[in-house]
Structure 1
Amino acid sequence: MTFSSTRKGALKAVCAAAAVAGLALAAPAAHAAGTTAKTKYPVVLVHGFIGFDSILGVVNYFYDIPGNLRNEGATVYIASVNPSQTTEFRGEELIQQMKQWAAKDGVAKFNLIGHSHGGPTVRYAAGTVPTLVASVSTVAGTHFGTVVADELGPQVSGDKTLNGLATAGLKLISWLTGNKTTDSTNLAAALSSLSTAGAATFNAKFPAGAPTTACGTGPEVASVAGNSIRFYSFSGTAVKTNGWDISDLILAGTAPYFKDEPNDGLVGRCSSHWGKVIKDDYAWNHLDEINQVLGTIGKGAPDPVAFYKQQVNRLKLAGL
């Protein structure tokens, strides 16, 4: 099976997107501690496809965000899940870490925040161990899949050489982050979960928080096995946001797959909807949503760091 130059370019773009997201090493400026983000339950940040917690303990996926949340009183954990595996595989990794944190620090519940594939990943945890989850917030979550995976998945599955080479690169990312399941990294498996069909199968098993209408909003509070959990979602719909940001060029290679559908370069606007949709058209692309690369968002766009503080403050005000 041949792999067209267009799809090769798109695949390279997808694989490079998260890798370039960790170029920044600068530490956030210190300031007096606040209480804006001082929630009842700790916050857990969960990265997306081809993502990481931190590279060599220095480069954060959520750039400048954990430290700023902590400066405002939040207790923040950063999950380390496989960069390229199924939602269920990543979800089980997250659950094991949550149980370890709960036992070690006496934590009763967590406020989960997932970006991209991290969205379905945190939903898996909420559906599997609901007693440990207070809220689920997703940023550009791949809840209904992405057409990028629909296009690339069959090609990757049909080309063992390509899948092997791409997976090897992803294993390097996993190894650099210290993830303990590096050998299980598999690009084809991840793309299957991220596809429209894969997402539909997953949603049938974990429906809590689902939109009640097509491209609509879902309930803010949903019951999962008798446990009330709050669900929120957000996303951007920009692609080229800053001429100095290399990720703009990368995402410009994948955005055409969406045709006329608003998207952030990797996830369509409607696919990001889950639970109460707070806002689905921020002037951000897929990496701006996590304040990457180097915080170079578009001129006039909202500050992603301030956004995360605002969302955690929303959780605080809700008593979470």
Structure 2
Amino acid sequence: MQRNATTQYPLLLVHGLFGFDRIGSQEHFHGIRQALNNAGAQVFVPYLSAVQCNETRGEQLLQQIDRVLSGTGADRVNLIGHSQGALTSRYAAALASKKVASVTSVSGPNHGSELADILRQALIPGRLSEQVASAVATLFAEWLSLLSGHAGLPQNAIAALTALTTEGVKAFNGKYPQGLPDTWGAEGPELVNGVRYYSWSGTLQGSLLREGKAVLDPMHLCCRALSRYFTVEREQNDGLVGRFSSHLGKVIRSDYPLDHLDTLNQTAGRVRKEVDPVNLYVEHAERLQMAGL
């Protein structure tokens, strides 16, 4: 049956850390843009710094929102941000609410990431370990930008990591609290300053022996290994972000059986049987359409 996800406003898929729009035939949001297009949505993927603080990425996004509005004739956009892309989208919506109809956080660290806390603590400012890690991560980000055709974007790995820590996001939330829940683990207000807020995310579930073909995916194994470092949200995380830390606005669901990269439809997502990550985006576009967005 033909899906109908013809939203009133264009959709912008906003990538997170080490993200890109397209490298050759490989899209960061693998198969998602095409599925949304097939369902009638008008979709764009902004190109942003792969490693940078939320505010710098947010300013880049604001510039590209203006380009989309100018090119399409629309007066608003729907932002769907994955991981740090959720914080980037929240920044843009807070500063330009009249240009943003909705913000959807997908696996977004809206209260910070415990994993980022551990990494930040391990890299002592001014020490060689921090300098080497920063240089390697920044070079990798520059390489990704070069391959995607957007060389020259400013990259700062330490700024990005600090922005994703619990303290970093706490400071960010103090400036841009729109859509945040008042109580840990609850939902936030769905409508703030004319912008609707939504979120969804996943968690690692069950034993590895029950994962089927996902056990062959090195990125899924990596997420499982990293999940062991969580304490506050032990067994309630996707390997990079905690379940309740992801809550923003109307929580569609925060315990899909998906790891952090599954929600991008990356390798592990293509062999999932429990839930189709691509369909989640199409369903959400239909939800936005029904809401007049």
What percentage of aligned pairs have identical amino acids? 41
1:237 counterpart = 2:203: yes
- Give the gaps of 5 or more residues in structure 2: none
Give me the whole-angstrom Cα distance separating, in 1, the residues matched to 2:287 and 2:133. Answer: 44
Q: Relative to 1, partners in 2 of residues 1:180 and 1:132: Cα closer, same or farther, differing over 3 Å?
A: farther
Matched residue of 1:253: which SS? helix
> 2:165 corresponds to which residue?
195
Shift of 1:79: 1.1
Matched residue of 1:199: which SS? helix
CA contact (8 A) 1:288 1:297 kept: no
> 2:48 corresponds to which residue?
81
Within the candidate set 167, 170, 174, 2:141 is matched to 170
After superposing the two structures, state which structure 1 stretch, 253-262 or 40-49, moved more: 253-262
State how 1:124-273 maps to structure 2 within 5 Å. Answer: 124-156=91-123, 157=125, 158=127, 159-182=130-153, 184-223=154-193, 228-238=194-204, 241=211, 242-259=214-231, 260-273=234-247
Give, as a single letter, the amino acid of the residue that structure 2 aligns with 1:94.
L
> 2:6 corresponds to which residue?
38
Give me the whole-angstrom Cα distance separating, in 2, the residues matched to 1:309 and 1:151. Answer: 35
CA contact (8 A) 2:120 2:161 kept: yes
State how 1:297-308 maps to structure 2 within 5 Å. Answer: 297-298=271-272, 300-308=273-281
CA contact (8 A) 1:235 1:282 kept: yes
Shift of 1:296: 2.8
CA contact (8 A) 2:14 2:85 kept: yes
Give me the whole-angstrom Cα distance separating, in 2, the residues matched to 1:92 and 1:206. Answer: 14
Give me the whole-angstrom Cα distance separating, in 2, the residues matched to 1:288 and 1:297. Answer: 10
CA contact (8 A) 1:244 1:296 kept: no
User: Normalized against structure 1, the TM-score is what?
Assistant: 0.84
Give me the whole-angstrom Cα distance separating, in 1, the residues matched to 2:264 and 2:185. Answer: 23
State how 1:103-122 maps to structure 2 within 5 Å. Answer: 103-122=70-89
Give me the whole-angstrom Cα distance separating, in 1, the residues matched to 2:145 and 2:170. Answer: 27
CA contact (8 A) 1:61 1:290 kept: yes
Shift of 1:61: 0.7
Shift of 1:155: 3.1
Please give the per-residue CA displacement for 1:76-113, whole angstroms capped at 9, x wherever unaligned.
01111111100001111111011011112212100100
Matched residue of 2:215: which SS? coil
- Give the gaps of 5 or more residues in structure 1: 1-31
Give me the whole-angstrom Cα distance separating, in 2, the residues matched to 1:181 and 1:309. Answer: 33
CA contact (8 A) 1:261 1:269 kept: no
After superposing the two structures, state which structure 1 stretch, 199-208 or 255-264, moved more: 255-264
Shift of 1:55: 1.0
Give, as a single letter, the amino acid of the residue that structure 2 aligns with 1:68.
A
Figure out how many residues of one structure are paired with residues of the other and give that number: 281
Give, as a single letter, the amino acid of the residue that structure 1 aligns with 2:243.
R
Matched residue of 1:40: which SS? coil
Give me the whole-angstrom Cα distance separating, in 1, the residues matched to 2:226 and 2:75. Answer: 41
